[in-house]
Amino acid sequence: MQDTLSKPKFKMELKKEYGKLREEYNLPSFEDINDEFEISVIDLEKINSLPRAILRVMYNKMGIFLQYVEPVINPSPQGLHAFIEVENTTNDEKKEIFTFYKDLSHKYHKAYALELVEDKNAVIKEIKNIWGYWGKVSSDFKKISEIIIKSWEREKEKEKVDTIG
């Protein structure tokens, strides 16, 4: 019960600390960045650097996106899930997914490399950089997700044809 009561307190402290960074470095509002990246999960008592923790949350979301699309462009021979997606995705769709994957991978590794950097300004600069292009990444990811969903719909259509025929 105590954990539940202390969560708003932790969030308020995080919001306050983020507000200081925002003011000093002209970052997006806490609400905006939290809506996209859920930075409210950061526990100030468990981190050494708030900017690096924010960057970590941001590149972790990139990693989730990459893991989602990778099976379509690099299927495992044992994976039925990926096989179905690959079989039901056109070459043009695969090219679009691969282009997205390469671009986001580059951005992911650039952000991840800052994990070893003690330069607060470089980390803040990358947070702002990611924020600047995130709208396009998010929009592209939605399109990629629709392609993958469509591949499953194509598979269901094949099942109907197989059942009828």
- At residue 4 the predicted structure's pLDDT band, cuts being 50, 70 and 90, is very low
Decide if 27 is inside a domain. Answer: no
Q: Is residue 114 included in any domain, yes or no? A: yes
CA atoms within 13 A on the CB side of 42: 28
pLDDT tens digits, residue range 71-106?
888 887 778 888 888 899 999 999 999 999 999 999
| Residue with more model confidence, 101 or 9 | 101
Give the pLDDT confidence score for residue 118 in this predicted structure.
Answer: 85
pLDDT in tens, 20-71: 999 999 999 999 999 999 999 999 999 999 999 999 999 999 999 999 999 8
Asked if the structure places residue 157 within a domain, the reply is yes
Q: Is 15 among the domain residues?
A: no
Domain count, the chain: 1
Give tens-digit pLDDT for 105-143.
999 999 999 988 889 999 999 999 999 999 999 999 999
- The answer to whether the beta carbons of residues 136 and 107 sit under 8 Å apart is no
| pLDDT for res 10 | 74
Q: How far is CA 107 from CA 54, 58, 62, 86, in A?
A: 15, 11, 8, 25
Query: What is d(CA 48, CA 62) in angstroms, rounded to the nearest whole number?
Result: 22
Domain residues for the domain of 99 are 48-164
For residue 32, is it within any domain? Answer: no
Structural domain includes residue 138: yes
- Residue 164's pLDDT band, with cuts at 50, 70 and 90, is low
- What's the Cα-to-Cα distance from 8 to each of 43, 47, 70, rounded to whole Å? 12, 18, 37
Q: How many CB atoms are located within 10 Å of the residue 13 CB?
A: 13
* Mean pLDDT value across the chain: 90
Residue 43 lies in a domain: no
The answer as to whether 28 is a domain residue is no
DSSP classification of residue 29:
P
Cα four-point dihedral sign 102, 130, 71, 92: negative
